[in-house]
Structures are given as structure tokens and as C-alpha cells.
Amino acid sequence: MTKSGSAVKVLFVTTELAPFSKVGGLGDVAGSLPKALRQAGVDVRVVTPAWPGVLERVAALGIKTTTVKTKVYAAYDWRIHSANVIKATVDGVTIYFLNSEDYSGSQYPSQLNFWSASPFAVFCMQALELKDAIDWEPDIYHCHDWTSAFLPCALAWHRHYRQTGGKSIMTLHNVAYQGILEPSPFLEASGLEPWSFNSSTMEFYGQVNLLKGGIVAATAVTTVSPTYANEIQTYESTRELSGILYQQRSKLRGIINGLDVKFWDPNGDKAIPAKFSAKDLKGKAACKKALLERAGFDPKSDAPVIVCVSRLVEQKGFDMVFNGAAQIAETGAKLLILGSGNDWIENGIIQASETYPQSIKLFKGYDEPLSHLMYAGGDIFLMPSVFEPCGLSQMISMRYGTVPVVREVGGLRDTVFDVDRPEGGNGFTFQTCDVDGMMWALRRAVDRYNNNKAQWKEIMLEGMHEDFTWDKSAGLYKNLYDELMQ
Ligand code: ADP
Ligand code: GLC
């Protein structure tokens, strides 16, 4: 609520948005949190770049669009960058897709330099200019990760925008990606005041660090779980950036992510061969059969099926998985992995699957429908992350009655509780970040599945009954917006 009693106006500024440009969980959050915020009474809208293929996806989904009469403009690198504003409404939330040549390249550049970073700075300035084109002025700009971290920097240090008094929130979905690049010619081109480049702002060991700038400049900072909010203030977790996060801790809070529980619902999911629910689990067996068939394994097998759906990057701990391949195969379980990412991880998994072809299968790539079948057809969901800001996959798997085995870190620690605690739980957890640690939890899960079907069902139901809606967290974001308006 603003002082005048009207709903707070919030513009989500995001470079990933499900179902149009999702890469990982950030896309899911940007696609689902605004709907929950609207229901909580926030006037929220979303702005996002029309990366290659995005408008085609919008059209393929049958979503109507209109082009806003006025374009948005941003002054950057001594010229004016303009973009068409394509408006759509999805589940009641207004989305503005910015369409221009600036967004014809890669959504996540493999190398960050002046050229590859420029679209992100332009996007943030166009987001600040949007108010004039749509005649709706946000009270708060809500930014996500380094890709929109230039916006709070601009509000604090840009020669034009620093006079405007806008408020911003920086949500940290993953502090491992910071947007680091050479200062020249970026700083000259950006319009930031030369005095703004120093060690207490965006300078970081001689480089520009966009995320650091965003953290320092934002009115408030949030991250996606309470545990990760604590972890990132330690050198062990975020190295040199931990000092800044510790220094800024009074404006930092951890708010756990929720899920779009309508989308991730085994009882309404069109991508799986049979529906099921906590009340009637029968369909899950048909999903398991279809998944085993798809993997080329015996569909009648009752061996536990361990599934992973993940970006294959260092964060996710897959070196433990391929280094533990022999032990995993020895348990008699089948391990199915869906994902793509770093070559060394893909190669490690390929090698493991070639060594144990009866036990391990990699589906390489990004495949949304297959991911649903994996969540539905699996028995165990393995997520041995080295670090995990929140993690959505473990929550999705629980919705589908697939019991998570996770490392106790970040948001995994806030959502998965070991069944062998005196008070019980919804999964199996471990702490030590190595093969032995992971196998300790995984063996307990496989053993419980094989030898105690009654308890296994209880664990499944515990997860299926968890509340993963956005309701509570949307309320916490709303409280934060209200606080900033006081
Ligand atoms: P992160 O954002 O770090 O990748 P999360 O667990 O928060 O991890 O979110 C991952 C999201 O991306 C989930 O919705 C998951 O199902 C999806 N996902 C990850 N890899 C794939 C893949 N290869 N194919 C389809 N969906 C994937
Ligand atoms: C990041 C994190 C993941 C989190 C997601 C959404 O990609 O790696 O843990 O769930 O963002 O906030």
C-alpha cells in the first residue's frame, strides 16, 4: 500500500521469464511470483527482452499481443537505442517484451565484455524509460541477478537517472554469477558518473562488478532462501564478495521461493501419461513404466529409479554423481539424468553411462516435457548441490511424490528434512560434500524404498502435502514493498 492508499506499483525487470525464455529457476520465479503478488494486491507488471524465439513462443501459445504506440529509448555508447514495446497479458499479469536488435544475441553470453554486456545495460535503461511509453510509473523496480543489476546502479550513479529518486530491490538468485567486465570502455559508454567507480560501489579488483554495484545501490536486497542469506555473508560461500554482503546485511533478507503449483501438478499435468495425486497414487506406476521405456530399460523393473533434472554446472555437484557411479550401480537402482551444461560434466556422465549401461542413462539437453516425465516417473530425486540458493527441482519432485536426496545447503536445507530425524521428514539429506557423504544418504533412500514400502509411501505423502505455493512468500515480498513505501 502506498501512503495514498493505492496498491504499490512494482515493475519486475528480468531477462528470463517462463515459459518464454526460461533457462533455470530464475525463469520459473519471474513467471510465477508476479501472479501471486497480484493476488496479494500488488500492482505488478513485468518487462523482459524479446530474445530470439521469444515472440514466436508467445504466438505459438496463442497469446494475443499489441504493440505500444511509443517506443522506448536509451542513450548508451553515444547513440540512442530504441525498442518496440510488445504488450501481452498472461494470467492477468501484464508483460512488456522489448524488441530490438540489442536483444538478437545470446541471453547468457559465454564471455562478458563491453559488447556482450551492453544489451543488459541498455535493457535496464529502457526499463527505466518504459513509464513514459505506457503511462504507468512503478514505485519500485524489482531486479533479478546481475543481468538487471545495472538498474539500481543507474538509479544511484547515472548522470541522468540518479536525480529521479526511484527505489529498487535486488533479488539474488545466484551470487556465483556477478557480471564482471573490464571498466573501459563500458564506464564511459554507460553514462555512470566517473566518481561512482570505486571500491565501495561497483569496482571489484579493478573490474566492474555489476552485481556488487546492484547490491550496494539497491534500496533493499533479497535472496531466495533464509539459509542462503546467511551463507552468502561468509567467505567460504562467496569469497571476496562476502565482505560487501556482510556490510549490507541490514538491508538483506531471505525469502524462500514458491512454485506455480497449478503448472507443477501431477493431477493435471498434460505432459505425463497418467495423472495421480496424494489421494490416488496409481498413475505414478504408469509414469515410471513410460520413463523406463523411454530410457531403454526394462519397463517392468521394480528397481528404484533415481532421477536428476538439472543444469550440468559445477554448482550442482555432478562430479560426486559420476565419481560415485560404481557405488550407485552397485545399489541396483537405475539413474536417469536430464541436463546439459559444461563439457567436463557431460563427459563424466557419458563415461559413467558407457561403463554402466544397465544402470545409468543421460538424456542430454533441455527438454521441458521430458522433465515432467522424470519428476513423475522417478522414485528418488538426487540433488547433491555444492551450493544452492533455493532450488525448485527438489520441491517439484516432492509435488510428484519423488523423494528428494539432497545436500544440506542453501534452500535445500530449508525445504528438505531428513526422515531419520526424531520428528521425521520428507527426504534424505547429507552434509559432507563428497561421494561418501552422498552415498550415505542415497543408500538409506534405496534401502528404505526396497525394504519398507509402507514408510516409503509415508515419505512420499509427506512431500506431496508440503505447501509449496507462493502465498506466504508473496506476502513477505508485499511487506517489503510496503516497508519501502513508508
Ligand atoms: P537452477 O535455477 O539453479 O537451474 P532450480 O532448481 O531453481 O535450479 O530450477 C531449475 C528449473 O529448470 C526447474 O524448473 C527444472 O525443472 C528446470 N530444468 C533444469 N534443467 C532442465 C532440463 N535439462 N530440461 C528441462 N528443464 C530443466
Ligand atoms: C538460481 C539458483 C536456484 C534458485 C533459482 C530461482 O538459478 O541456482 O537455486 O532456485 O535461481 O531463484
Atom of ligand 1 nearest to the CA of 23: 12
Query: What is the spatial distance between Cα 209 and Cα 196, in angstroms, rounded to a whole number?
Result: 12
Q: 172 alpha carbon to ligand 2 midpoint, in Å?
A: 9
Identify residue 337 by its one-letter amino acid code.
Answer: I
**In this predicted model, what pLDDT tens digit does every residue of 139-191 receive, in sequence order?**
999 999 999 999 999 999 999 999 999 999 999 999 999 999 999 999 999 99
Among all bound ligands, the one having the nearest atom to the CA of 393 is: 1
Strands (DSSP E) found in 212-355: 220-223, 252-254, 305-312, 334-341
Residues forming a β-bridge with 169: 142, 220
Nearest Cα to Cα of residue 100 among 76, 77, 71 = 71
Query: What is the spatial distance between Cα 233 and Cα 215, in angstroms, rounded to a whole number?
Result: 13
Residue nearest to atom 10 of ligand 2 (CA): 391
Burial class (CB in 10 A: 0-12, 13-18, 19+), 141: buried
Atom of ligand 1 nearest to the CA of 22: 12
Residue 481 phi/psi, 5-degree rounding, is -55, -45
Q: 378 alpha carbon to ligand 1 midpoint, in Å?
A: 16
Please give the pLDDT value at position 263. 96
**Beta 252-254 vs 72-76: how paired, if at all?**
unpaired
Please give the pLDDT value at position 1. 73
pTM over 0.95: yes
Among all bound ligands, the one having the nearest atom to the CA of 145 is: 2
Q: 474 alpha carbon to ligand 1 midpoint, in Å?
A: 21
1, three cell numbers: 500500500
- pLDDT digits (tens), the chain, 486 positions: 777 788 999 999 999 999 999 999 999 999 999 999 999 999 999 999 999 999 999 999 999 999 999 999 999 999 999 999 999 999 999 999 999 999 999 999 999 999 999 999 999 999 999 999 999 999 999 999 999 999 999 999 999 999 999 999 999 999 999 999 999 999 999 999 999 999 999 999 999 999 999 999 999 999 999 999 999 999 999 999 999 999 999 999 999 999 999 999 999 999 999 999 999 999 999 999 999 999 999 999 999 999 999 999 999 999 999 999 999 999 999 999 999 999 999 999 999 999 999 999 999 999 999 999 999 999 999 999 999 999 999 999 999 999 999 999 999 999 999 999 999 999 999 999 999 999 999 999 999 999 999 999 999 999 999 999 999 999 999 999 999 999
Please give the pLDDT value at position 2. 76
User: Is residue 317 lining ligand 2, measured as CB closer than 6 Å?
Assistant: no
What DSSP string runs through 187-248? HHHHTB-GGG-STTTTEETTEEEHHHHHHHHSSEEEES-HHHHHHTTSHHHHGGGHHHHHHT
- Site to substitute for ligand 2 among 12, 15, 313, 390, most atoms within 8 A of C-beta: 390
- Site to substitute for ligand 2 among 32, 172, 177, 224, most atoms within 8 A of C-beta: 224
Q: Locate cell 514495446: which residue?
A: 85
